[in-house]
Structure 1
Amino acid sequence: MLNPARIEFARTRRRWTKTRLAEALGVKSRSIQGYESGEYFPEPEKLEQIANFLRFPVSFFYGSDLPRISEHTASFRSMSKMSASLRDSALSAGSIAFILNRWIESRFNLPEANLPDLSDLSPEDAAATLRRMWGLGEAPISNVIHLLESRGIRVYSLAIEAKEVDAFSVWHENTPFVFLNTFKSAEHSRFDACHELGHLVRDSHSMLHGKAHSPEMEREANAFASAFLMPRSSVIAHKPNLPTIGRLIDLKSFWGVSLAALAYRMNSLELLTEWTYRSLCIDIAKKGYRTKEPNPMRQEVSQMLAKVFEVLRGEGVGKSDIANELCLLVEDLNNLTFGLTLSGVSAAVALEGVPTKPTNQGLRLVK
């Protein structure tokens, strides 16, 4: 049976207003309201038009209700700068990730999340404590996405070409999810991921109970990310005698952070004078390094999804097969999975602790 809620969902995901859809269909806006409320159903030819305009298979509109993410349970970094339509589109992408993740978990054993509650600690102490608990010491984190996935956090991508959307995190069925905007630099995405990790370990109570995120919570999540990526003692030990832009460019690659984030961290630890920090900020802006990172890192991608796709490829399962089963387009899967392809995954990629469900022939898809 046609599900009216899915018409609204599809429209929201593609950021179409009711007026725009009505004009495209040649009907009144009141008709769209009727379609989405279930007051009456669109005729078959109108439904096909809706599917074409909103880029969803017709079969999508006959599915059950999709899981919804409340704006108050998700931790957006830039909520004040974001339009409602952009926010709702990003949240809808998260809902699609939930059904994709459920499909994957029905076939593979993935790490279970067991994140500590560090809400009683300051951001600096929480970052240091989590590093100790995870056995990271003071070493730089080579790949943030791989680290989060190994701890049971599901990481998906948001292919939303809008600077207002940095990242967001949310809990769903006791599983933490982090969504990263792939249009940001690798350094920016690493910081975003750690920012969201800060929310997951310090603000989970607020997230689970739908309490709005305050500016103070955002500042503290930034402080957590800074301390988690750049441990205090390590930054102090590597303090340059002459903190020039060139020297900081060398050091930023060591920790995998942006030039601006490194300068800010060194200043917060009182390793720079206010005059030096101000001069560095001016130079960074003049050279365009706030928008285009010097010596940029390669983008990080999901290791878990790469491993899953490797196994599926061996079983002859393509993304189109997954998309058909979930009543989605392949483009929606690509947008959530860092553009990873089932045919281009290296067999050398492996995710420790992520075996498939046991079978007699090793890594196989359970059918």
Structure 2
Amino acid sequence: MFNMSRFDLARQRRGLTKRELAHRLDVTDRTISNWYSNQEVDDRILQKAAEILDFPVNFFYGDDFEKVEAQAVSFRALSKMTAKKRDMAISQTILAEMLSKWIDQNFDLPAPDVPDLHELRNDVSIDNFQSLDEIDEDNEQYYLEFSFPEICAETLRKAWGLGEQPIGNLIALLESKGIRVFSLTNDAQDVDACCRWTNDRPFIFLNTSKTAERCRFDLAHELGHLVMHKHGVVEGIQEQEANAFASAFLMPRRSISAEPIRSPSLKSIVMKKSIWRVSAAALTYRYHKLGIISTWNATSIYKQLAQRGKNNEPNPIAHETSLLLDKVFQALSDEKFQLSELTNALNITLEEINNLTFHIASKRYNLEAERRRSMLTVI
């Protein structure tokens, strides 16, 4: 039976309004409205719509997806995002979760180990922090306001046995704790990252077009939402809290404080950033908030970074990718599993799968050969 919710998801995935789709199909706006009202589409026009939307016709005849409200997804930088871009991202997350469900059915993977820390909000204060004598009044106010995410970051590091050491591959760490990480496509440029809980499984969706350092911070930011805001957010400060959590989780206070910079400069920051695998700006901010470098020093470094340009990160690190998905596709390849079986099971294209999986499918498979194989039919 034709499923209009799936048709609507495919439309949103391609970033088309109903009117834009009608124009592409050479039908009236009323025709599209009638489809939604009657839940019926002419087979000939449906075939053309499938070609425009780049979804197999069979995709429109599957079961309902669980409806995802925009407020159920924590978006990074939501304020600069249009509703169309938001809906494009949400549709991608639904497809990724569909792929994740198939993976769960075929592989034995780590169960979620992500604590719910929202109750710590009632227990923290400036008294939780030691050795803050050198912090000036402005920075002390920062800790009074963001002691909750600071304590959450320290608590999670302790729970996961990370100590105070730098984190190597952050995606690998998250996946080892049962968090599924998928990539967003480049047509969702305005979406840095987003996350949500689905059936007690945490998901993070990442735009990999940013610098590697920015991607790591976005991942830590979304992790903050998962552990602090599972039961809803505190209006107005959730994004600031997630940023504070990311800073504290990637650059733990005690370790950073134990390594002061004698002559603060961009050069000295760049030397330190490779240790923590964060951007020079993020490390400068952390040193400043901990009172290790002065406001004047921080401002001077920010100006030098601005002169380099937004995407010209000094001494850049390599992008991380999913080790879990790489192992999944390697195992499938070793078993001579054809990706056409996966595309037939999910009724989405190879390109869609590749885009959601950090292009790992193309690394492990010859996609062109798989594409030709998927087009073959048995007579």
TM-score (norm 2): 0.86
SS of 2:194 mapped into structure 1? strand
Deviates more, 1:163-172 or 1:83-92: 163-172
Unaligned runs of 5+ residues in structure 2 are 122-147, 366-379
The letter of the residue matching 2:311 is T
Matching residue's letter, 2:204:
V
Report the AA paired with residue 290 of structure 2: L
| Pairing 1:327–2:355 present | no
Match of 1:126 in 2: 152
Q: d(CA) in 2 for partners of 1:279 and 1:342? A: 44
Structure 2 match to 1:80: 79
* 2:365 maps to 1:339: no
Residue 283 of structure 2: which of 224, 237, 262 is its match? 262
Tell me which amino acid in the other structure corresponds to 2:11: R
Q: 1:109 to 1:342 in 2, by over 3 A?
A: farther
Q: Please point out which of 289, 293, 296 is paired with 2:316.
A: 296
Aligned equivalents of 2:321, 2:66: Cα separation in 1: 25
Q: Distance in 2 between matches of 1:69 and 1:335?
A: 21
8 Å contact kept, 2:224–2:246: yes
Q: CA deviation at 1:7?
A: 1.5
| RMSD, aligned CA | 1.5
- The letter for the 2-side match of 1:80 is S
CA pair 292-67 structure 1, distance change in 2 beyond 3 A: farther
Whether contact under 8 Å (2:333, 2:364) holds in the other structure is no
Matches within 5 A, 1:146-225: 146-206=172-232, 214-225=235-246
Could you say if the C-alpha distance between residues 114 and 301 of structure 1 is closer, same or farther in structure 2, counting changes exceeding 3 Å? same
List alignment gaps of at least 5 residues for structure 1: 346-367
C-alpha separation in 2, matches of 1:315 and 1:91? 32
Count of paired positions: 338
Q: Percent identity?
A: 45
Give distance in 1, aligned partners of 2:338 and 2:84: 32
Kindly report which structure 2 residues correspond to 1:1-367, keeping only aligned pairs within 5 A, or say none: 1-37=1-37, 39=38, 41-119=40-118, 120-121=120-121, 122-206=148-232, 214-288=235-309, 290-341=310-361, 344=364
**Structure 1 ranges of 4+ moved more than 4 A:** none
Q: Which has the higher helix share?
A: 2
Q: Deviations over 1:82-123 (max 9, x none)?
A: 000100110010000111011000011111113212222411
Cα distance in 2 for residues equivalent to 1:92 and 1:215: 26
CA shift at 1:343, angstroms? Answer: 5.5
Contact 1:313 1:342 (8 Å CA) reproduced:
no
Any conservation in 2 of the 1:128–1:227 contact (CA below 8 Å)?
yes
Deviations 1:28-58 (CA, angstroms, capped at 9, x unpaired): 1111122233x15222210111001111111
1:178-199 CA distance string (max 9 Å, x none): 0010111111111111111111
C-alpha separation in 1, matches of 2:66 and 2:318: 33
TM-score norm. by structure 1 comes to: 0.89
